[in-house]
Structure 1
Amino acid sequence: MFRKPLNDLKTSAPLRNSDRRKLKQRVLQDFGLSEAQSELGDLIVPEGLQSVKFTTHSGEPGVAYLSSDGEPLWFSLGKGSGDLIPTVYTLWKYPRLLPFLSTPSAVIPVLTGGADLMIAGVVEHNSGLAPGQVVAVTCYTQDALGPPLVVGRMAVADSQLVREDGTAKGKAVHILHTIKDKLWEMGGQRDPPEPVPHEDNGYATERKEEASFTPAENATPLQSKIEELIVDEQVSSILRTALLQAILTSLAVLPPASFPLPSTVFYTSHILPARPAHTPSSTPIDIKHSAHKNLTAFLRAAEKEGLVRLKEARGKAGGDAQVLGVVIDHPDVNAHRVYRTVGEADAKRERREERAAAEASRTREIVVTELWKPHQQSIRFFEETEKGSSSLYTLQEIKTILNEYITAKSLVNTHQAQFINMDDLLSGMLATKGSDVPDFMKRDELTRSLLDKMQPWHRIEADGKDPLVKKGKLAPISVIVKLRQGRKACTLITNFEPFLLAADALADELRRTCASSTAVVPLPGKNAGFEVMVQGKQIKAVADMLQAKGVPKKWIESEDMTEKKKK
């Protein structure tokens, strides 16, 4: 109930004295406490009480009553007043407020994980328990009563907790609140008190006989057997929940003509994918680990409940039964709340893995970095600023060096801050024959002038290849449509070599992509590279292919020279 954070948690409000007295009187009446036990009432319904409204993760409204220091003491669920239910904090103050059932220590984590208490997990219990009655669950301790750790409602009467043959199955308690849940976390999260010896706790209890579980010599000890049974019952319960989920979802949309379904198909295609994505049990959730042990027994139990209709297999015993249909309007199906399933989680994981694989296989974009190297007149500037005169610099690095120099020399114009005053170093660096350097320049103009005095370089970084650093300004790839051989249009691609692309490979891929003939022609001049030609107007196809190979869009220039300019 409180395994997930509360939704729509309102601000707590102090309870009026009159309301607090009414609440105290209600507690005394509901829990069979006499007026003479008024001091006990003050202990479990103390002064300074606050109330706070909330909604559970499943959408059920409720009210919690907190102590003055924010510790949750009571809560109610549903519209209207509802039953007043004590928290474990209240039960630690007065453990005898609720009747109890005890269970082995190994079962407690299963309960705090969200599971209900199974009959097989009950060791001791009070007598006279009725279905729907609010009870506490404690950790079984020999010769002592452990502190209440769980609060829930009885699923059955106490008479159904034990059978003569020791084969009682099903749920004993529907869990509402546990230690370590979100309601408990609202309090001080203190440790439970120590167990109380049986002679001091004032309870009359009934205990399941060990003979019911350990009839033979060297048999499994009682606690281990109970743990085994609780796991089996827990798996059975989860599989039944998966059946309800499947009936409400995947089976509900099957056309009637899909039935009958072989039981194995029914199980593998609908029940298994409908299991909860997260379960409190570390045991595999399948038929083998359930109390049924085989699929036929599980389906017969579901048929007995009125959830499915079966047709037994003819011929050899143990054959694959047929599922004739499911009962969508069954009360348990209508009451079932859908959840995130194993099938959904698996599908999400597969999609994530497919995206990761596609991302890994996709060619990463080629990184083009424009660089500049100090040259001729600019060398002195970099030496004066104590920077390397033989290093390569990015545009941002050059701007930073220039700004640091301007700040250090106080060159910002005092009258117009957007202008930079020229000192002897800057004037000498920017001077050209036949023209004078102005007394001041704008910062971006000064930066461009400095770049003009430097030598351009560039660096190409492609996925899976060593970075290529070359002198000179990088030109973009040219994609031009021209008319050749009369009126036939063709697309010409040049200057792709600096981007680490090979002419023959481009031509082969364009031949397949465009379903057109291609050709590779050497360009005139020494080391001028190649021209790839593909028939037809293929600008978009070529641009898409180049980008798929990692060429950034800004480094692709295209022009259709066959289109006449409009006047």
Structure 2
Amino acid sequence: MFKKKPNFKPLSPLRSSDRRKLAEQIISDFRLKISNETEPQTELAALRNSLLPDSSLTARFTTTAGPDLKIVSGTIYVGAHPGDEQRILWVRMEERMFPTVYTLWHNPGLVPLLHTPEPVLQKLRNGADLMTPGLARGPPFPTAAIRGSVVAIASLETPSVPMVVGVCEINVSELKAVAGEKGRAVRGMHWEGDELWAWSSGGKGGGVRPTALEGWDTKNGVWMRDLETEIKQLGVDDADIEETEDDGGVPLGEVKGNKPGYNEFSEGEDVPPSKDSQVENKELSTKEVDEAFKRAFLFGLHQHLTVNGADPGNGLDFPLTSSFVIASLVLPFLPTFTPAQTSSLQLKKTSWKNAKKFLKALDKEGLIKTKDRSGGEIVVLDIDWNESAIADFVPYQLPTKDRGNSGGRAGTERISALGSAGQELRRIGLFKPKEKLAPLFKAAEADPKSLYLASEIRPIITAYIESESLVSTTNKRLVAVNPVLANTVFSSDSSTDREVIAKGTVPRDRVIDRVLENCSPFWALLRSNETKDDVKPKAGRAPNIQILLETRSGNKTVTKVSGVETYLVNPSSLAAELQKTCASSTSVGQLVGSSPKNPVMEVMVQGPQTQAVIKALEKNGVNRQWIDVVDKTKGKKR
């Protein structure tokens, strides 16, 4: 359903009375039961708040759906679970409520849970529908999975974590077998990775999925089959996902994985890894530096030819400036394994000394075609892609760089030399317990010096509470405040905390909130399938990209963009893209005030080009909410 970005209207508060009515409607529609007969009203209030938290917001939206791109509209409901950022929790369409994955992650058993192999689930997360042969862990299937019912879908690898929300097209519960069956079983409505999942009030992008959840995966009888046997018996093929324009399905095809012995962290190359320690740490001769620069240039062209072969220019917009060639096609492909190599592999240490002579030499060899412009500038007009030195180039291993997220060199080392168009980025917030929380984490057998996601801290605190038997016997949502909690989480300096300590009990969610408040914030940027363990988190809050509009020369407006390196966007590539998109002149220079040792580059575009810049950044994986716009031209005549 949500394959294209919806147009959200401004959010407005949801009245308390409307929130209660809506939550009770959800409880009725999804046939949720109150198990606590002694305190039904207390549990009902807690259930309402779990489904639709206090201070929830609402907004209308429009989008397109179906093969004919029919315009549809609906309502979103936004709220924040304890310790989490505000997310879209529910969607109303055609007078029917659909939960998002965030709601499912906090409300186990809300809807029937179906399973499918991970390769099939990946296709579902791209908008495909689940075909009947793709169903796993059954029959029997959940009895509530009947035609028209809302269901969740999880993979066999993480069977307790719902990743897709859909509607049954058939009576799945009545299936006696799935092998040999045809047709669509579940129509996908929402999935982890779509626009609803990606929306956030704080601009942090989509939330990180849990690794496991209690209450979702049934532990009795046939539901706990051996997963390896299940996958082998299933025999997933293209019939699991139907490829039709009407159904929106796509074929499974070949599932590609990392080749044995290959370095999954190197960008762009598909070659066996080499040990950095085996590279001799010595200064290179001029001849060796020349050869390294030429091979790096061929490597860069070969990568463009391989990755963007379907594009007429193989991913390049001609003419190419000399600075772009060096920054994007040469430097990222230099084999700088050791400090001595890094020191040697500089353009000024080649026999050419500068970019112009380097490009002239390549022109003389017939690899490229160059032209001198007025002012002494040289540009590349064309490349001979049929040259065997490019087409038959054998890639070599590149060093694994420091995978930092800063705006300077550490950040640019993760920038793909091929540009960042189409990359998928996720920005996550991490929490490091402060020293005073160490006793609490140690008691829960967790490392107090590690970095945690908010979703990872909750089970740690829950484990501590349960190990200390602090759960109230009359209300399971209340926790007794023992001396450890009083000393580490609640401060006597606050009147609210003093009241909590005096009362002796506090809601469990409040404990988790206070633990998060007493942690130091960190952040990390994840690309594609990276996890938080693959990158080096940075302290503090994540910086946003800055777009600045200002007036120059009296009445000329320029648009300046800085901080794009933080989000793995090459400033030179962005400038080239904006030059073409905006039909305006662009330039790249060092941001005034940035450190020469760790420079931040600034892209300048002629004219008021805010929307064009934002769209270009979105194409490069940047969430719109990670961008700050400052307009200094307001009040001035343009």
Length-normalised TM-score, structure 1:
0.38
- Larger relative helix fraction: 1
- Higher normalized contact order (CA 8 Å, seq sep 6+, divided by chain length): 2
Length-normalised TM-score, structure 2:
0.34
